[in-house]
A and B are shown apart, each in its own frame.
Chain A
C-alpha cells in the first residue's frame, strides 16, 4: 500500500469508524477495563492500517474485525502471563467490585444485588469460560458467530458454554453478601 497517501488515512477512517463502538464494547467485555479495552482497539487499528487494501475488499467487516480483535487479545494474553490478574487488578475495573459492600441493604434492589454478584462471579471463572459467557450471554453473539471468532467446533463450544454457566451459578451461590441481603430483604434467591 506504500506510499501512504493522505487519502489512505481518510479511507481507513471512513471504513473503520462505524465499527469502533462495538469493537470497543467487545474489547471491554474481553478485558474488563476501559483503558485496556481502548488500548486493544488501538492496537487492532494500528495492525490493520497496513492491510487497507485487503480490508477494502472484505464484504462483511464486523465479524472479520471481531475476529481480528479477539486474536490480538488472545495473543496479548499469551504474551503476558500476568494478564488474568491484571484484568481484575486495575482501579477502574468493573469486575473488582465486591458484591454489596458499599450500599445500604435498604436501597438495594434484587436486580442490583444480582448485578453485583455477577460482576464478582465472572472474575472467578477461568479465562475461557469468562470469554465465552461474555461473548454469548452478555454480548449476545450466537454460537455460530463465536465459532467463527474462535475457530472452535460448535459442539465443543456448546459443552464449554454449559460448563461455564454451571460454574457461574456455582460461584453465584457461594457469594456470601447476597445471602445476607436475602435474609434482610426476604427475597427469593435465583
Chain B
C-alpha cells in the first residue's frame, strides 16, 4: 500500500492512537519516512495531544472526601426531613409533637406506589414514615393525607384529612406521621402529592390487631 500526503494526513490521529490496521500503519510509516511536511503534521498532532493531556484540573481540598461522605450520612439519616416537615407542623394544631429519628433508621413506607401492609397494635402510638423521592427540588408541593377509620393522628382525633403546602428537596424526603390505632380493622392511608398538574398517590394498608406485637415497619412514637 502506498499513501500520498492527504491519505496520510487523515490517518495521523489514528496513527498516533495506534488505531490503524497493520497495513495502514506501515504505509503511513513509509510515507512519513520520506515526507517532512507530514512529519511536521505528526509533530503538531503530538503537540496538540500533549497540550490536551496537560489541561489543568483544579485541585480539591483535603476535606473533599469527608465533605462528600458527610453529606451522604446527613442525607440518609433522616435529618433532611425537617424542612419538608415544616409545612406539616404548621398545618397541625399545637400540642402535637413530631419526633424524627436522626440516628436510627427504620424501613420506610411505602416505597413509591407499591401498597404495603402495616400491622399496628390497638391503642398504641406509632410513627409511620413516608418516603418521597423527588428528582429535583420542588417548591409549592401540596400534600394531603387521608386516614382510615381505624387510625388517628396522635393527639388529633377529629382530623381524618390533612392538606398542606410544602416543599420537597431533591432526593429523599421523609415525613413521620404519628399514628394511633383506635379500632380493630383494616384501612388505607393515602398520601397524595400534587405538583403543578401532576399528582401521585402513596398507599399504606394499616391493619390493627388486638395484641401488642410491634411490627418492624412501624416504630413506637414518642411524644416530646
Interface residues of A (CB under 8 A from B): 2-4, 9, 12-13, 16-17, 20, 24-25, 28-29, 33-34, 37-38, 41-42, 45-46, 49-50, 79, 92, 94, 111, 114-115, 118-119, 122, 133, 137-138, 140, 143, 158, 161-162, 165, 168-169, 172, 190
Contacts and interface: CB of A to CB of B under 8 A. Distances in A.
The winner among B13, B69, B107, B171 for most chain A CB atoms within 10 A is B69
B75 A46 contact: yes
B58 interface: yes
B72 A20 contact: no
B72 A9 contact: yes
B156 interface: no
Contacts, number: 95
Interface stretch (B41-49, B114-122, B200-208): B41-49
A114 B48 contact: yes
Nearest to A4: B105
B64 A24 contact: yes
Interface residues of B, number: 35
Interface string B148-178: 0000000000000000000000010000000
Given A34-B58, A137-B52, A190-B48, A45 B72 contact: yes
B77 A42 contact: no
Contacts of A13: 69
B107 A2 contact: yes
Contacts of A42: 67-68, 71
B55 A118 contact: yes
Contacts of A158: 19
Contacts of B15: none
B57 interface: yes
Given A3-B107, A4-B105, A119 B55 contact: yes
Contacts of A168: 48
Contact of A20 (B56, B57, B65, B108): B65
B60 interface: yes
B145 to A, nearest CB: 22
A49 B73 CA distance: 9
Interface string B96-114: 0000000011111000000
